[in-house]
Chains A and B, each alone.
Chain A
Amino acid sequence: MIQADDLSKSYDQHEVLKHISLTIPAHQVVAVIGPSGSGKSTFLRCLNGLETITGGSVSINNHLLKATDKKKNRLKTIHEIRQDTGMVFQQFNLYPHKTVIENVMEALIIVKKQSKSTAKTVAAQLLKRVGLQEKEDVYPSKLSGGQQQRVAIARALAMEPKIMLFDEPTSALDPELVGEVLKVMKELADEGMTMVIVTHEMRFAESAADRILFMADGQIVEDSEPKAFFAQPTTERAQKFLAKVNEF
């Protein structure tokens, strides 16, 4: 479903991602963890073209994006990739000038060219699924962070993506609101969605993910099963990181 081949990303001289290769099969839930600045978010953003890769290639649902592609081809491939991927951001990024249901309907109307009434039905179902049916007509600013993030998940799901990308979805939330977002994500995982989640929620990663990628300095340092990883990380970097996380 996702394949990265020698994927690299650098800004000017600074190499943020160094020759990453990996394959993620369909229905797998992958948690990407690691210290800040390790390139986790950049890696995730390379998967749907929000960052332009500078080396190697990435293939999403058989849409192959190569660093050497001409701009026109690249934009076309990225556009196709984005039809198959949904993304959830740390800062939610809901459209503040649209109501909750309009946020979910927007891409259905603009990208999928659905009629307003069809889009509304679809959006209402999704909002129900994330438990926000009674908030349809309010503006995002009136919602708590957890509610906003659930709307953002519904908005991404509206496009019926095959892959969901989560970029630290709970890092901007008050602690008591983290649970409601993770619950929705867990349900998605249980339904078989292919997911890549950059997260600092170690317990969630352990319980919901099928696979842990530990990144440091732009590389995947460790790639293992959650149980094994959290019980006994093999590399010193990962051991130190987990020790720090568990300090308190």
Chain B
Amino acid sequence: MDLVIDNLPFLLKGAYYTLLITVVSMFFGLIIGLITAIARLKGNRFFRTIARVYVSIIRGTPPLVQLVIVYYGLVDYGIEFGALTAAYIALSINIGAYVSEAFRGAIQAVPAGQTEAALATGMTEGQAIRRIVIPQAIRISIPPLGNTFVGMLKETSLVSVIAVTELLRSAQLLIAQYYVYMPFYVSIAVMYWILSTAFTFILNKIEKRLSVY
């Protein structure tokens, strides 16, 4: 226990990176996901196909494989990223696929009558989607997005394999130094749990906030 307390700053730094990677990937994942969802629902055949293939590939392959392809694989073609950048890219692309599915379901859950009412008042399809459909879809998508994000938070532990010192790797480094396992592993487990709980809490708040009607 003393070991953990002595090394707490180091572990907290790991937690900081875990959180950073999660938030950055979430941010870009949301953008990618929204674009993908709209491409799948409203795009022409070309964009629809691209979006569908993207989601299918990402959901059909392990995130660890995606990560090593971005970090190690692309080096073969002279594309080199720093470890942290590679983590952002791989995880954003990964989560984007899952977010797009959450958005797609939510957009489809908004009754067709909403779009029709907007069109009937003279809005264009784009205006109807932006002003009427998306705001309602966002609220519907929050519970599935919450699952995705909490999953994401835990998936960041994969990034330890490309030498980003996030939570898991900081524990591994300490273990290599002190040759004791349990205290470090348990303490990072607790930190993951605290972070997930905080996430869920925030999302619940946002959902409440959006449920004024």
Assess the B117–A95 pair: CB atoms within 8 A.
yes
Assess the A110–B213 pair: CB atoms within 8 A.
no
For B114, what are the chain A residues with a Cβ–Cβ distance below 8 Å? 93, 95
Docked CA distance A200–B131 (Å) = 33
Q: Is A82 on the interface with B (CB-CB < 8 A)?
A: yes
Which residues from 164 to 213 on chain B have a C-beta closer than 8 Å to any C-beta of chain A?
A: 212-213
For A94, what are the chain B residues with a Cβ–Cβ distance below 8 Å? 117
Q: Is B80 on the interface with A (CB-CB < 8 A)?
A: no
Q: Is A107 on the interface with B (CB-CB < 8 A)?
A: yes
Interface size class of chain B, counting residues whose CB lies under 8 Å from the partner chain: 20 to 34
Bitwise interface map of A from 35 to 52 toward B, beta carbon under 8 Å scored 1, else 0: 000000000000011100
Docked CA distance A93–B114 (Å) = 6
- Given the interface contacts A106-B131, A111-B127, A139-B212, does A93 sit within 8 Å of B117 by beta carbon? yes
Bitwise interface map of A from 136 to 155 toward B, beta carbon under 8 Å scored 1, else 0: 00011100000000001001
Assess the B123–A141 pair: CB atoms within 8 A.
no
Residue of A nearest to B130 (CB): A110
Docked CA distance A152–B118 (Å) = 11
Docked CA distance A107–B131 (Å) = 10
Kindly provide the distance from the CB of A99 to the nearest chain B CB, expressed in whole angstroms: 8
Assess the A89–B116 pair: CB atoms within 8 A.
yes
For A49, what are the chain B residues with a Cβ–Cβ distance below 8 Å? 119
Assess the A97–B136 pair: CB atoms within 8 A.
yes
Assess the A91–B213 pair: CB atoms within 8 A.
no
Q: Is A79 on the interface with B (CB-CB < 8 A)?
A: yes
B120 touches which of A85, A91, A140 (Cβ 8 Å): A85
Kindly provide the distance from the CB of A25 to the nearest chain B CB, expressed in whole angstroms: 23
Q: Is B135 on the interface with A (CB-CB < 8 A)?
A: yes
For A159, what are the chain B residues with a Cβ–Cβ distance below 8 Å? 121-122
Interface size class of chain A, counting residues whose CB lies under 8 Å from the partner chain: 20 to 34
Assess the A141–B213 pair: CB atoms within 8 A.
yes
Q: Is A198 on the interface with B (CB-CB < 8 A)?
A: no
For B212, what are the chain A residues with a Cβ–Cβ distance below 8 Å? 139
Docked CA distance A82–B119 (Å) = 8
Docked CA distance A174–B123 (Å) = 31
Which residues from 71 to 93 on chain A have a C-beta closer than 8 Å to any C-beta of chain B?
A: 79, 82-83, 85-87, 89, 91, 93
Assess the B123–A87 pair: CB atoms within 8 A.
no
A87 touches which of B111, B120, B124, B136 (Cβ 8 Å): B120
Kindly provide the distance from the CB of A241 to the nearest chain B CB, expressed in whole angstroms: 27
For B117, what are the chain A residues with a Cβ–Cβ distance below 8 Å? 87, 89, 93-95, 152, 155
Q: Is B9 on the interface with A (CB-CB < 8 A)?
A: no
Assess the B213–A96 pair: CB atoms within 8 A.
yes
A86 touches which of B121, B132, B139, B213 (Cβ 8 Å): B121
Docked CA distance A91–B135 (Å) = 20
Q: Is B78 on the interface with A (CB-CB < 8 A)?
A: no
Docked CA distance A107–B213 (Å) = 20
Q: Is B113 on the interface with A (CB-CB < 8 A)?
A: yes
On A, residues with C-beta under 8 Å from B are: 48-50, 79, 82-83, 85-87, 89, 91, 93-97, 106-107, 110-111, 139-141, 152, 155-156, 158-159
13 CB contacts below 8 A, A to B, read A82-B119, A89-B113, A89-B116, A89-B120, A94-B117, A95-B114, A95-B117, A95-B136, A111-B127, A139-B212, A152-B117, A156-B120, A156-B121
